[in-house]
Amino acid sequence: MQEFPTPPTVGKVIELTGDEGRHAVSVKRTSVGEQIELVDGHGTRAVITVTGVSGKDRLVGVVDCVASEPAPRPTVTVVQALPKAARSELTVDLLTQAGADVIVPWQAGRSVANWGKKQDKGLAKWRAAARAAAKQSRRSRIPEITPVADQAAVVALIQAAPLALMLHEDATGKITDQPVAQVDSVVLIIGPEGGISPAELDAFTAAGAHPVRLGPEVLRTASAGMVALAALGAVTDRW
């Protein structure tokens, strides 16, 4: 799967060069006659038949078909507390593979990582990780990575959402207790390795978030979101 450079229509000739062309030609070793998928990252997917390959980074093909894939329902915005640097991009990779629609980096009170003045660098890494994971998992939509949120911004997201769920190890409720299949969007809050602080728990609960737990195990922040998204997918039309 590649990203197409211009809007596709059936019969249109598409040329891939640069990084995309190099990946198709030199890494995937795509040859004439093969079909590849192209996406725009916003739900449009095209299938093209390769008609020419040259050098190490140039591929030409003709568009066979184009489809616009609807957004999943409900859409899920994941508020992800900043993980340790070593697990940061893995976290985004797993969230993307599991189908997150929007990922909000959250500077939680107990986050070990603190982007501070390095926010632009951190966001660039997360966006690159989301793009790569979307390709690997053949998604037609690349999740949006928003600017870093503080507690007040998370409260605002909760208040604006039809349903907000907050993973917490002391919660007694489950995701299946919530009307996730009856809403168009869900906010899912994932705390840091040190857990959501009492002040954050109180603020988010007061704003309308529902504490839930996934099971008896305590998951790492890097994998908790992926497991929660899988649970949401199983009880809604997302899967």
**Parallel, antiparallel, or unpaired for β 144-145 and 75-81?**
unpaired
Tell me: do 167 and 194 sit in the same domain. yes
Which percentage of the chain shows pLDDT scores above 70?
A: 97
Domain at 14, CATH number: 2.40.240.20
Domain for residue 5, yes or no? no
Check whether residue 47 and residue 134 sit in a common domain.
no
Give the mean pLDDT of 15-19: 89
> What is the H or E stretch that residue 157 is in?
helix 151-160
* 77 phi, psi to nearest 5 deg: -100, 115
At residue 205, what are phi and psi to the nearest 5 degrees?
-65, -40
Q: Tell me, yes or no, whether 42 lies in a domain.
A: yes
Has residue 1 been placed in a domain?
no
List the structure tokens of 112.
């070990």
Q: Enumerate the β-bridge partners of residue 14.
A: 61
- Residue 17: which domain range? 10-66
pLDDT at 216: 86
Helical residues (DSSP H) of 99-149, grouped into ranges = 119-136
4-8, 18-22, 79-83, 148-152: lowest mean pLDDT where? 4-8
Q: What is the mean pLDDT of the chain?
A: 93
d(CA 232, CA 212): 12
- Are the CB atoms for 115 and 82 separated by under 8 Å? yes
Same structural domain for residues 79 and 52? no
Q: Are residues 119 and 59 in the same domain?
A: no
Q: Rounded CA gap, 87 and 144, in Å?
A: 19
Last residue of a domain, one of 22, 41, 66: 66
> How far is it, in rounded angstroms, from Cα 153 to Cα 160?
11
Final residue in a domain of this structure, among 21, 37, 66: 66
pLDDT confidence band for 85 (50 / 70 / 90): confident
Last residue of a domain, one of 23, 39, 66: 66
The total of structural domains in the chain comes to 2
89 in a domain, yes or no? Answer: yes
Do 96 and 208 share a domain, yes or no?
yes
Residue 177 lies in a domain: yes
Q: Are residues 60 and 165 in the same domain?
A: no
pLDDT value, residue 5: 60
In a domain, residue 2? The reply is no
Q: Quick one: DSSP state of residue 27?
A: I
CATH code for the domain in which residue 105 is found:
3.40.1280.10
The dihedral sign for the CA sequence 165, 167, 171, 177: positive
Q: Which two tokens stand for residue 94?
A: 């797993």
In this structure, are 144 and 39 located in the same domain? no
Mark residue 25 as left, alpha or beta (left: phi above 0; alpha: psi -120 to 50; beta: remaining). Answer: alpha
Q: β-pairing, 164-167 with 185-190?
A: parallel
pLDDT at 23 exceeding the cut of 90: no
Same domain, 116 and 218: yes
- Rounded to an integer, the average pLDDT of 90-105 is 97
The pLDDT assigned to 86 comes to 86
Q: Are residues 27 and 94 in the same domain?
A: no
